[in-house]
């Protein structure tokens, strides 16, 4: 269960990162509220998961899921470039996260 919560928390990291960009410096109410709720949920989930998952593994997986999710969001929604090099680097992050789970 902790691993599921950890991955969901990483997805919430993507949500709060995207919402943070949309707040335009916390000047827009709804994106700011979404940011706050997603941030709180992400941190709470990370804290819960780290009850049973070691700190280094949990944090690395959380950051990896959030980083990949945010990069993919940027490419798919915001029109950021999806170059072969970027996709290869994101694949390496996913491989690292999977490796941490397998080796846990």
* 39-80 residue pLDDT tens: 999 999 999 999 999 999 999 999 999 999 999 999 999 999
pLDDT at 104: 78
101 pLDDT exceeds 90?
no
**pTM (global) more than 0.85:** yes
Q: C-alpha angle with apex 87: 4 to 22, nearest 5 degrees? A: 70
pLDDT at 103: 85
3-class DSSP assignment, residue 25: coil
List b or e across 28-39, with b for residues whose CB sees 16 or more CB atoms inside 10 angstroms.
eeebbebbeebb
């Amino acid at each position: 269960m902790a691993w599921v919560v950890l991955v969901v928390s990483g997805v919430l990291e993507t949500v709060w990162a995207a919402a943070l960009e949309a707040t335009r410096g916390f000047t827009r109410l709804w994106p700011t509220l979404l940011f706050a709720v997603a941030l709180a949920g992400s941190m709470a989930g990370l804290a819960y998961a780290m009850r049973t998952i070691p700190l280094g593994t949990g944090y690395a997986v959380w950051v990896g899921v959030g980083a990949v999710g945010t990069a993919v969001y940027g490419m798919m929604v915001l029109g950021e470039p999806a170059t072969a090099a970027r996709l290869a680097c994101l694949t390496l992050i996913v491989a690292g996260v999977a490796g941490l789970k397998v080796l846990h």
